[in-house]
Amino acid sequence: MVGRSFELATPSSHSQRNHIQTAHATEQRTHLSFPNETVGESSGSVNNLRRHRDSSPLGGMTHFSDSDLDSILCTNTDVPSSDNLLMLNSDPVDNSPTRPGNTQTPAQTMHRLGATVSQLDPHQPSTPAPSSDDPFHFLEEPWKVSQGIEIIPGRALLLLLPWHNNQTLNILSIYAPNPHTENEAFWTNLHQKWTQDGLPFVHVLLGDFNLVEDGIDCLPAHDNPIGPREALSKFKALFTLLDGWCHENPGTIAHTWHQCRWDLHLGLDRIYINSENFKHSCNWSISPTPIDTDHDLVNVRIFNTAMPYVGRGQWTIPLFTLQDKKIMDVICDKGMTCLKEIELLSKTNPAAIQHKYKTFKDDLINTFCNYAKKHIPMVDNKIDHKISQLKDVLQSDQNETEKAILASELKEDIRSLERKRHLKSQQLTSVKFTLKDETLDPDWLRRGKEPKPRAQTKSPNQETQ
Closest CA to 55 of 253, 248, 240: 240
pLDDT: which is higher, 370 or 47: 370
Assess if residue 210 is contained within a domain.
yes
Assess if residue 176 is contained within a domain.
yes
Phi-psi region at 44: left, alpha or beta (left = phi > 0; alpha = psi -120 to 50) = left
For residue 220, cis peptide bond before it (omega within 30 degrees of 0) = yes
Domain count, the chain: 1
Q: Look at residue 326 and tell me whether its pLDDT is greater than 80.
A: yes
Tell me the percentage of the chain whose pLDDT exceeds 90: 16
* 339 sits in which H/E element: helix 325-348
pLDDT for res 44: 41
Closest CA to 238 of 265, 275, 268: 275
Assess if residue 48 is contained within a domain.
yes
Residue 175: C-alpha distances to residues 72, 151, 182, 210, 284 (Å)? 10, 12, 12, 8, 21
pLDDT for res 452: 65
**Residues across the chain:** 465
Assess if residue 182 is contained within a domain.
yes
Tell me the pLDDT tens digit for each residue of 115-124: 222 222 333 3
pLDDT band at 307 (very low <50, low <70, confident <90, very high): confident
Query: CA gyration radius for the chain?
Result: 26
CA dist., res. 384 & res. 460, Å (int): 45
Assess if residue 382 is contained within a domain.
no
CATH number of the CATH domain containing 209 = 3.60.10.10
pLDDT for res 189: 94
Cβ neighbours of residue 270 closer than 8 Å, sequence gap 6 or more: 10, 206, 209, 243, 245, 256, 298
- Comparing 194-208, 266-280, 291-305, 447-461, the range with the smallest average pLDDT is 447-461
CA dist., res. 457 & res. 28, Å (int): 16
Residue 330: C-alpha distances to residues 24, 99, 110, 364 (Å)? 32, 11, 12, 10
CA dist., res. 20 & res. 366, Å (int): 36
Residue 220: which domain range?
A: 5-80+125-303
Closest CA to 187 of 209, 214, 204: 209
pLDDT for res 240: 92
pLDDT: which is higher, 81 or 152: 152
- Comparing 53-62, 243-252, 440-449, the range with the smallest average pLDDT is 53-62
Tell me the pLDDT tens digit for each residue of 407-454: 777 777 887 888 787 777 777 777 777 777 667 777 777 767 776 655
Assess if residue 450 is contained within a domain.
no
Residue 69: C-alpha distances to residues 146, 205, 258, 289, 378 (Å)? 24, 18, 16, 17, 34
Assess if residue 357 is contained within a domain.
no
pLDDT mean over 298-302: 88
Helix 180-196 / helix 227-237 crossing angle, nearest 10 deg: 20
Assess if residue 242 is contained within a domain.
yes
For residue 11, cis peptide bond before it (omega within 30 degrees of 0) = yes
pLDDT for res 79: 29
pLDDT for res 453: 59
- Comparing 265-279, 352-366, 386-400, the range with the smallest average pLDDT is 386-400
Closest CA to 38 of 63, 13, 60: 63
pLDDT: which is higher, 156 or 4: 156
pLDDT mean over 225-251: 89
Q: Look at residue 350 and tell me whether its pLDDT is greater than 70.
A: yes
Amino acid type, 18: N
CA dist., res. 103 & res. 319, Å (int): 23
Sign of torsion, CA 182 183 184 187?
positive
3-state SS, 78-117, equals: CCCCCCCCCCCCCCCCCCCCCCCCCCCCHHHHHHHCCCCC
pLDDT mean over 322-348: 88
- Comparing 34-43, 111-120, 253-262, 324-333, the range with the smallest average pLDDT is 111-120
Phi-psi region at 299: left, alpha or beta (left = phi > 0; alpha = psi -120 to 50) = beta
Q: Look at residue 356 and tell me whether its pLDDT is greater than 80.
A: yes
pLDDT mean over 125-147: 46
* 283 sits in which H/E element: strand 281-287
Mean pLDDT of the chain: 67
